[in-house]
């Protein structure tokens, strides 16, 4: 079960918020496909007291654009050391690392897993990441894994029913 107090959720992008596919147009401009259910999950997490941050090894405008759309304030792109950078996110937000969860899919996420309080692997993560995880989603990256991770955390915090009433009370 997740630490009930998780206050910061750090998301990798490729293979977590996407299925790992990299679209490149004929001008060489990268593009990515995000999942709308993940997006709603992120809004719910924020609304119910979990800050969300992005930590990715690549750099692209589409990631910043998606972050802006979802009100994700803390974005680190071009990370060469996710262990050091997740600590930097904790310093910026003032949230201790033990109250921080990381969602990852591949080997560059392991240094962040080594320090994060709670580690979540997407369903199609590589074996090494799955072995290091506290929780593995059933859904693969880009297909609702982040939504599932958020639902897992909000349920652990006893906030999921309240999250549902946001929708069921809309008459």
Radius of gyration from C-alpha coordinates of the chain: 15
What is the closest distance, in whole angstroms, from the C-beta atom of residue 42 to Mg ion in the complex? 17
- Which residue in 165, 138, 168, 166 sits closest to 152, CA to CA? 138
Q: Is 117 in the site for Mg ion (CB under 5 A)?
A: no
What is the closest distance, in whole angstroms, from the C-beta atom of residue 105 to Mg ion in the complex? 4
Encoded tokens for 117: 């309080």
One character per residue 4-43, x = contact with Mg ion (rule: CB under 5 A): --------x-xx----------------------------
Options 85, 105, 124, 148; binder of Mg ion; rule CB under 5 A: 105
Q: What are phi and psi of 51, to 5 degrees?
A: -75, 145
**Looking at beta carbons, which residue is closest to Mg ion?**
15
CA distance 21 to 75: 20
CA distance 19 to 149: 15
Among residues 117 and 141, whose Cβ is nearest to Mg ion? Answer: 141
Binding residues for Mg ion, rule: CB under 5 A, are 12, 14-15, 105-106
């Amino acid at each position: 079960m997740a630490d009930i107090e998780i206050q910061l959720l750090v998301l990798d992008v490729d293979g977590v918020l996407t299925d790992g596919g990299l679209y490149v147009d004929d001008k060489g401009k990268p593009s990515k496909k995000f999942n709308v259910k993940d997006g709603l999950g992120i809004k719910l997490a924020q609304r119910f007291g979990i800050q969300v941050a992005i930590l990715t090894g690549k750099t692209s405008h589409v990631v910043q654009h998606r972050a802006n759309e979802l009100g994700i304030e803390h974005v680190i792109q071009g990370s060469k050391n996710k262990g050091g950078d997740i600590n930097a996110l904790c310093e910026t937000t003032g949230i201790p690392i033990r109250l921080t969860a990381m969602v990852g899919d591949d080997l560059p996420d392991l240094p962040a897993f080594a320090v994060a309080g709670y580690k979540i692997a997407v369903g199609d993560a590589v074996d090494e990441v799955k072995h290091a995880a506290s929780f593995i989603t059933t859904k693969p990256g880009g297909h609702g894994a982040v939504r599932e991770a958020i639902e897992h955390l909000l349920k652990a915090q006893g906030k999921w029913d309240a999250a549902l009433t946001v929708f069921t009370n809309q008459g």
